[in-house]
Chain A
């Protein structure tokens, strides 16, 4: 069959495809209905279109015709296989059940990240009590002085440097969101360096946070410091651990891809890792609100602040251990 005969024979259906693709893109109902491609005949029509491309190639028709046909197939392929579900509902399901399930499924990485983060953190707190000078190995004198001022009992606003103390709570909230969520993102990306980036960031953040906590405790500002950090410690530290776990998962897929090609293992790991990162970013995002709105309040009693902080830890741990265990929670 000559090319022009082929075109004459099939052109009507191709135009119908053009209408369908166009109508779908612009969401115009009238156009979509005008097209003769319907939900019922779409699969067979799509197969016919694919068949046309193969025929055109096999018969060495002109590349103009083949290109035009191929573009229709690509556009239809993207509409058919690229369809997404209702995102809003999926988010709720993810937070309600998907995230804790994922964390339990990836507990190897979560525990590894927690180990890498909390061991230096706790070690530094202890170290600062036993050898107070050790703080200078990790923090510069300027930094220590700054932190000392931030948590001094006479500080106007807890946890904020003198410069920032003049800001409103909303301004601090924005700083916290930008800064802390960004650390999560970096920790995730660092996994691509065979996990080294994540490991180093986890250890480094553990060291710094632990040293600051140890130093301030050693100085004796226990009420102000621990009262301040207690509230947001749970979401923020767990967020840091989860983002580290996401990075470790990527790094592990690179180092030990198992019985798959490294690239496939990587793409597969990315799906879970990104979801872990969503959880991490969400927790850190929430922590920023607590940190800017609740934690700096000076009028509240120390015991209450510690109590609320511990309650957050309890709730979050219970959430990760228990949520999403229902029959068909997903």
Chain B
């Protein structure tokens, strides 16, 4: 559908085609949320490191050497180990709802994680990830240099939305006139999400659909739209009889 569209869409949805011919949509993460994830990780690392300093500082030069090794491990291997063993997310990414995937949507392996994280040494140049941020702005997938090398994406972890209609209103009304596909979709979305809105907000939104609700007051308008939505969804007694009409 979108492959035929010559104008690239101006949004952060990245499409991945699976071998089964199914198009998956991933939501790419931008610089700000990734910086936040990095800061959270940085905080964790500092916390852990200062804890170790506290414990090891008494064991003399041996402790100092151990701290040096620890600093090395925290800098280079911390992100790699977490990304490989914790489903592609360091603790900071997990708290920010992010996950790292390969370009084809599959989980990271060692090589990809090593490539993208060791390249932080270059992305960091000349100061505080400046090169990485500039690179992120220069490609459509928001990749820093490490992501380009490893062939990885940082995307939002998708949370499961409520899959069902949450109320038990099953009355349906036939559409007074034919709606376009986009309008039908909007109506369905409204019907599914209306139970989650406050009553006043749901009524307010319903009144925007002027031709459908005529002059009805907010509450009645909301009910009308819900019933029309039920019809489109195929809920309720009326819909069963008029299936062919839909």
Partner of B62, one of A54, A71, A170, A178: A170
Known: A78-B107, A174-B66, A267-B150. 18 other contacts (CB 8 A): A3-B234, A4-B239, A5-B234, A60-B188, A62-B192, A64-B161, A65-B163, A67-B161, A74-B158, A166-B61, A167-B61, A171-B66, A186-B121, A190-B121, A250-B149, A266-B148, A274-B111, A278-B114
Partner of A177, one of B72, B185, B188, B239: B72
| Closest chain B residue, CB of each to CB of A50 | B22
User: When chains A and B are docked, how far (Å) is the Cα of A71 from the Cα of B25?
Assistant: 9
Interface size on B, residues (CB 8 A): 61
- A3-B188 CB under 8 A given contacts A64-B163, A168-B62, A189-B121: yes
User: When chains A and B are docked, how far (Å) is the Cα of A278 from the Cα of B77?
Assistant: 13
Q: Is B200 on the interface with A (CB-CB < 8 A)?
A: no
Question: 8 closest A-B pairs (Cβ-Cβ)?
Answer: A2-B234, A171-B65, A50-B22, A178-B72, A267-B151, A174-B69, A189-B121, A82-B106
Partner of A2, one of B62, B65, B246: B246
Chain B residues in 8 Å Cβ range of A166: 61
Chain B residues in 8 Å Cβ range of A182: 72, 76
Interface residues of A (CB under 8 A from B): 1-5, 46-47, 50, 53-54, 57, 60-65, 67-68, 70-71, 73-74, 77-78, 81-82, 84, 87, 166-168, 170-175, 177-179, 181-182, 185-186, 188-190, 192-193, 197, 250, 263, 266-267, 270-271, 273-275, 277-278
Partner of B20, one of A46, A63, A82: A46
Which label, helix, strand, loop or mixed, suits the secondary structure of the B interface?
helix
Q: Is the CB of B163 within 8 A of A50?
A: no
- A60-B181 CB under 8 A given contacts A166-B61, A267-B150: yes
Q: Is B174 on the interface with A (CB-CB < 8 A)?
A: no
Chain A residues in 8 Å Cβ range of B18: 50, 73, 77
Chain B residues in 8 Å Cβ range of A185: 76, 118, 121
Most buried by B among A67, A166, A278: A67
| Closest chain B residue, CB of each to CB of A166 | B61
Q: Is B212 on the interface with A (CB-CB < 8 A)?
A: no
User: When chains A and B are docked, how far (Å) is the Cα of A278 from the Cα of B101?
Assistant: 22
Q: Is the CB of B22 within 8 A of A53?
A: yes
User: When chains A and B are docked, how far (Å) is the Cα of A67 from the Cα of B192?
Assistant: 13
Q: Is the CB of A189 within 8 A of B118?
A: yes
Q: Is the CB of B119 within 8 A of A192?
A: yes
Whole-angstrom distance from the CB of B168 to the nearest CB of chain A? 13
Whole-angstrom distance from the CB of A210 to the nearest CB of chain B? 25
Chain B residues in 8 Å Cβ range of A63: 185, 189
Q: Is the CB of A172 within 8 A of B72?
A: no
Q: Is the CB of B161 within 8 A of A47?
A: no
- A267-B161 CB under 8 A given contacts A74-B24, A77-B105, A174-B68: no
User: When chains A and B are docked, how far (Å) is the Cα of A190 from the Cα of B120?
Assistant: 10
Partner of B184, one of A60, A178, A193, A197: A60
User: When chains A and B are docked, how far (Å) is the Cα of A29 from the Cα of B103?
Assistant: 31
User: When chains A and B are docked, how far (Å) is the Cα of A172 from the Cα of B66?
Assistant: 10
Most buried by A among B115, B148, B233, B243: B115
- A68-B161 CB under 8 A given contacts A3-B234, A263-B148: yes
User: When chains A and B are docked, how far (Å) is the Cα of A62 from the Cα of B66?
Assistant: 57
User: When chains A and B are docked, how far (Å) is the Cα of A177 from the Cα of B234?
Assistant: 66
Chain B residues in 8 Å Cβ range of A61: 188
Chain A residues in 8 Å Cβ range of B232: 2-3
Q: Is B109 on the interface with A (CB-CB < 8 A)?
A: yes
- A193-B122 CB under 8 A given contacts A2-B239, A171-B61, A266-B148: yes
- A174-B65 CB under 8 A given contacts A2-B246, A4-B235, A82-B106: yes
Q: Is B35 on the interface with A (CB-CB < 8 A)?
A: no
B residues 154-207 in Cβ contact with A at 8 Å: 158, 160-163, 181, 184-185, 188-189, 192
- A2-B149 CB under 8 A given contacts A171-B64, A189-B121: no
Q: Is B213 on the interface with A (CB-CB < 8 A)?
A: no
User: When chains A and B are docked, how far (Å) is the Cα of A182 from the Cα of B68?
Assistant: 12
Chain B residues in 8 Å Cβ range of A70: 24-25
Q: Is the CB of A62 within 8 A of B233?
A: yes
Q: Is the CB of B233 within 8 A of A2?
A: yes
Partner of B69, one of A74, A177, A190, A197: A177
User: When chains A and B are docked, how far (Å) is the Cα of A174 from the Cα of B150?
Assistant: 29
User: When chains A and B are docked, how far (Å) is the Cα of A78 from the Cα of B121?
Assistant: 29
| Closest chain B residue, CB of each to CB of A271 | B111
| Closest chain A residue, CB of each to CB of B193 | A64
Chain A residues in 8 Å Cβ range of B162: 64
Most buried by B among A82, A87, A179, A192: A192
- A175-B145 CB under 8 A given contacts A46-B20, A168-B62: no
Chain B residues in 8 Å Cβ range of A186: 121
User: When chains A and B are docked, how far (Å) is the Cα of A68 from the Cα of B119?
Assistant: 35
Most buried by B among A47, A87, A185: A185
- A188-B106 CB under 8 A given contacts A47-B20, A172-B65, A270-B151: no
User: When chains A and B are docked, how far (Å) is the Cα of A71 from the Cα of B72?
Assistant: 37
Partner of A167, one of B65, B111, B115: B65
Interchain Cβ contacts under 8 Å between A and B, 30 examples: A2-B233, A3-B233, A50-B22, A53-B23, A54-B21, A57-B1, A60-B184, A60-B185, A62-B192, A70-B24, A77-B22, A78-B105, A78-B107, A81-B19, A84-B109, A168-B62, A171-B62, A174-B69, A175-B65, A175-B68, A177-B72, A182-B72, A185-B118, A190-B121, A192-B149, A267-B148, A267-B150, A270-B111, A270-B151, A273-B115
